[in-house]
Amino acid sequence: MGVILRKHQGEMHLTKISKLSLVGVLVALSSSFIITIWAVYLDSFFHSISIVGLVSSMLTLIGIATYFISIPIIEKNNKAKIFTYTLLVYAIAYLAFIITKNVWLFLLVAVITTITGTLRVTSFGLIIKDSSSKTKLSRNEGLIYTVLNLAFVVGPLAAGYILSEHGSSFVFALASMFIFLAFLMFKFESLNDPTKTKKIDKNLIKNFFAFLKKKERVYAYIIGGGVSFWWSLAYLFMPLYIVRNGLSELWIGYFLFALPIPLIILEYKFSNRADKHGFKKFFKIGFIIPCIGALICFFMVENVFAVLGVLVVSSIGLAMLEPTTEAYFFKISTRKEEQRFYGPYNTRLEVAGFFGKAIPSVFLLFVPFKYIFLLFSAVMFLMFLISFKIKEVKN
């Protein structure tokens, strides 16, 4: 209860982490709306699963570059201000998608949101970190991810219905509204982050190679990227798989509604236990579950509903990974390293996301759709093997 409420002079107040969680929920609700329709929206321009994947990969490459370019920006400026500016840009960009019919204008707006998104993710992550003590970091990460995943249960179901009944424009409008509400709440609650680094790391190439010098950081990067790689299957390729198999767009909402339920139920519990009992076994079990799940999907790809069910069950493994991988990075880093290397570490999301989109897209140029399940199974098995190499960390 103390995670959510704190007693002060006889009254109960929401803790700062809980207020940040509420802001995060609004942002996540907006993101869940967009991620539900994104593949279908892109398909309306390109009419090809492979091209949709390749365009998404191109945007991801831009995100990777932005993470490194943004390091001096994050270090030099107040992270709360950066976060609020990114929310405004997103609110406007989602409205722009409503009126965008030209593919080049669409790509311009998509590039802007990609660049802004890297700043949003990095600034918000560091605000959470600076609002948490070292001993409570994993617990707070678990709380944040749990409430964020609540949005990813409600959002896809609503977005799938709205897409099916009213089209993508209504979805973008609502997503913009939720982002703007998050902006107002962040400003109204004065969730400021006064920390600022005076020394700025302007040599981006040197900073990148410095990040790679510590093998524990490299392992943390790879394992954290494995989570992002997996979500490419769920959120990019599966919506198109659903539509291509003759199901209505509403089924995209049903699937993405069910997908994060295991995460909501289990993430907070797993993050607490990892803090007390060590991270290594959670990483190993967490990766072997989706590995087996994707392998099962490869052999039963013709049974659409069975495939969707298996992928939902596989989310149990992701519940062991999503909050713990980032907490592990902070555990093995000093405060100076956190400020300097959190940006490069966050490129794991974009780098793994790029490979999770690009490699299957190239596969689909030559082989049937079912082989991407075999690909994802192999990558999860590789992550399982790498989990044996990490340094164990406990409170």
Each residue's pLDDT tens digit, 218-268: 888 898 889 889 998 988 899 889 988 888 888 888 898 888 888 878 877
Q: Which residue is associated with the tokens 């609110």?
A: 91
The whole-number pLDDT of residue 151 equals: 81
pLDDT tens string 87-102? 899 999 999 988 888 8
Given pLDDT bands bounded at 50, 70 and 90, which one contains residue 326?
Answer: confident
The whole-number pLDDT of residue 379 equals: 94
Please check whether residue 278 lies inside any domain of the structure: yes
**41 within 8 A of 175, measured Cβ to Cβ:** no
The whole-number pLDDT of residue 377 equals: 95
Question: Distance from first CA to last CA of the chain, Å, rounded?
Answer: 21
The whole-number pLDDT of residue 294 equals: 94
Please check whether residue 394 lies inside any domain of the structure: no
Please check whether residue 319 lies inside any domain of the structure: yes
Please check whether residue 1 lies inside any domain of the structure: no
Q: Tell me, what amino acid is at 185?
A: M
The whole-number pLDDT of residue 303 equals: 92
The whole-number pLDDT of residue 383 equals: 92
Domain around 22: 15-191+199-389
**215 has pLDDT over 80:** yes
By mean pLDDT, which of 180-184, 189-193, 278-282 is the weakest? 189-193
CATH number at residue 309: 1.20.1250.20
What average pLDDT score do residues 367-390 get? Answer: 91
Name the β-bridge partners of 6. Answer: 13
By mean pLDDT, which of 15-24, 172-181, 210-219, 280-289 is the weakest? 15-24
**pTM score, whole prediction:** 0.72
**Cα 171 to Cα 167, 177, 200, 287, distances in angstroms:** 7, 10, 40, 33
3-class state of residue 77 by DSSP:
coil
Of residues 19, 267, 22, 256, the one with CA closest to residue 154: 256
**7 has pLDDT over 50:** no
Please check whether residue 2 lies inside any domain of the structure: no
The burial of 154, by beta-carbon neighbours within 10 Å (0-12 exposed, 13-18 middle, 19 or more buried), is given as middle
Please check whether residue 52 lies inside any domain of the structure: yes
Q: Tell me, what amino acid is at 258?
A: A
Domain count, the chain: 1
**Angle at CA 164, nearest 5°, toward 93 and 35?**
40
Name the β-bridge partners of 12. Answer: 7
The whole-number pLDDT of residue 311 equals: 95
**Angle at CA 330, nearest 5°, toward 329 and 336?**
115
Pull the structure tokens for residue 71: 């390091």
Q: Which residue stretches of the chain are H helix?
A: 16-46, 49-69, 71-76, 79-99, 103-130, 137-166, 168-188, 204-212, 215-232, 238-244, 250-258, 261-277, 280-299, 304-331, 335-363, 371-386
Percent of the chain with pLDDT over 90: 14
What average pLDDT score do residues 9-15 get? Answer: 43
What average pLDDT score do residues 171-200 get? Answer: 73
Integer Cα distance of 301 and 303 in angstroms? 5
Instruction: Go through the chain and tell me how many residues it has.
Output: 395
Burial of 38-70, coded b for 16+ CB within 10 Å and e otherwise, reads bbbbbbebeebbebbbbbbbbbbebbbebbbeb
* Non-local CB neighbours of 203 within 8 Å, separated by 6+ positions: none
Of residues 342, 118, 58, the one with CA closest to residue 224: 342
The whole-number pLDDT of residue 190 equals: 57
**62 within 8 A of 111, measured Cβ to Cβ:** yes
**200 has pLDDT over 60:** no
What average pLDDT score do residues 343-353 get? Answer: 78
Integer Cα distance of 118 and 109 in angstroms? 15
What average pLDDT score do residues 189-208 get? Answer: 55
Please check whether residue 271 lies inside any domain of the structure: yes
Integer Cα distance of 198 and 353 in angstroms? 32
Integer Cα distance of 306 and 118 in angstroms? 35
